[in-house]
């Protein structure tokens, strides 16, 4: 069973999400051990401080090394191993579906959430294995990105979804965007479901879906097109 620990100053924010929907079901069904751990519990400061002013001046506060190191080392002692440590940061490499799939095959992850002006650089040098970003923008803290990453990884674990088919046709799985989806009624406010989805011909439906994935990616995310065909060495004609 995979283990994921979110190291944060605000575990209650994380637990409010982890208890619900797919993540909550995966936890309750024993498919993943997923928890939030309070970094503040490991500070040696009698006032439970975990941050201080930056050397050299500047606005804001910086999270200190000792509480983060104490938190991670306690986790390693409990687990008997060092997890793969990820710092959620706008300076990290962008999160992709491919990286999420790679991370889902690891035995354990520790997701470090920064706050204020971030963490002391020495934490990144000594303890962190990689930095990951969920986009080119800045948030107040790393909790939301950590939850995004956890959700992205956990849904790929065996048994969490109905089967591989539940995610293999989704956007970004093979470098393309997902095809359009429809449900009842067949006609809504004058807009009809494409006839090919109603005729029962599964071969034609699969062909239509494939064509839609290519066309939708070309229209919405042309930057993905060359990467997809280069990766998969496909010779399809792109209209």
- pLDDT reported for residue 100: 97
pLDDT over 90 at 237, yes or no: no
The SS3 call for residue 85 is: strand
Alpha helices by DSSP H, listed for the chain, are 11-18, 21-28, 65-79, 97-103, 121-126, 143-154, 165-168, 202-220, 222-232
Can you give the pTM of this predicted structure? 0.87
| Domains of the chain in sequence order | 2-154 (3.40.1280.10), 169-232 (1.10.1270.20)
Q: Which segment of 167-171, 192-196, 204-208 scores lowest on mean pLDDT? A: 167-171
pLDDT at 216 over 80: yes
Model confidence over 155-183: pLDDT tens digits?
999 999 876 655 455 556 678 899 999 99
Measuring CA to CA, which residue among 110, 144, 116, 114 is closest to residue 129?
Answer: 110
Q: Residue 231: is its pLDDT beyond 80? A: no
Name the band, by pLDDT with cuts 50, 70 and 90, for residue 8: very high
* Average pLDDT value for residue range 99-108: 97
> What integer best gives the mean pLDDT of the chain?
92
* Range 171-185 burial, b when 16+ CB lie within 10 A, else e: bbbebbbbbeeeeee
Higher pLDDT, 45 or 167: 45
Task: Identify the CA nearest to 4 among candidates 119, 188, 146, 121.
Answer: 146
Sheet with strand 84-94: strands edge to edge = 32-38, 2-8, 108-113, 84-94, 130-133
């Amino acid at each position: 069973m995979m283990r994921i620990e979110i190291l944060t100053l605000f575990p209650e924010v994380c637990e409010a999400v982890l208890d619900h929907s797919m993540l909550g079901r995966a936890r309750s069904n024993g498919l993943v051990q997923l928890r939030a751990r309070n970094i503040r519990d490991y500070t040696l400061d009698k006032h439970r401080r975990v941050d201080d002013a930056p050397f050299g001046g500047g606005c804001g506060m910086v999270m200190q090394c000792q509480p983060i190191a104490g938190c991670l080392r306690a986790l390693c002692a409990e687990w008997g191993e060092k997890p793969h440590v990820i710092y959620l940061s706008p300076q990290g490499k962008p999160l992709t579906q491919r990286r999420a799939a790679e991370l889902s095959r690891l035995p354990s992850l520790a997701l470090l959430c920064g706050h204020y002006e971030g963490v002391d650089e020495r934490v990144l040098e000594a303890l962190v294995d990689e930095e990951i970003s969920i986009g080119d923008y800045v948030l107040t803290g790393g909790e939301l990105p950590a939850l995004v990453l956890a959700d992205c990884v956990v849904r790929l674990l065996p048994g969490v979804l109905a089967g591989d088919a539940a995610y293999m046709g989704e956007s970004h799985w093979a470098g393309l965007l997902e095809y359009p989806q429809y449900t009842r009624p067949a006609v809504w406010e004058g807009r009809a479901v494409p006839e090919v989805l109603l005729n029962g011909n599964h071969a034609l439906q699969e062909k239509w879906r494939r064509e839609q994935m290519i066309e939708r990616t070309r229209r919405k995310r042309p930057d993905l097109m060359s990467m997809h065909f280069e990766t998969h060495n496909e010779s399809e004609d792109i209209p």
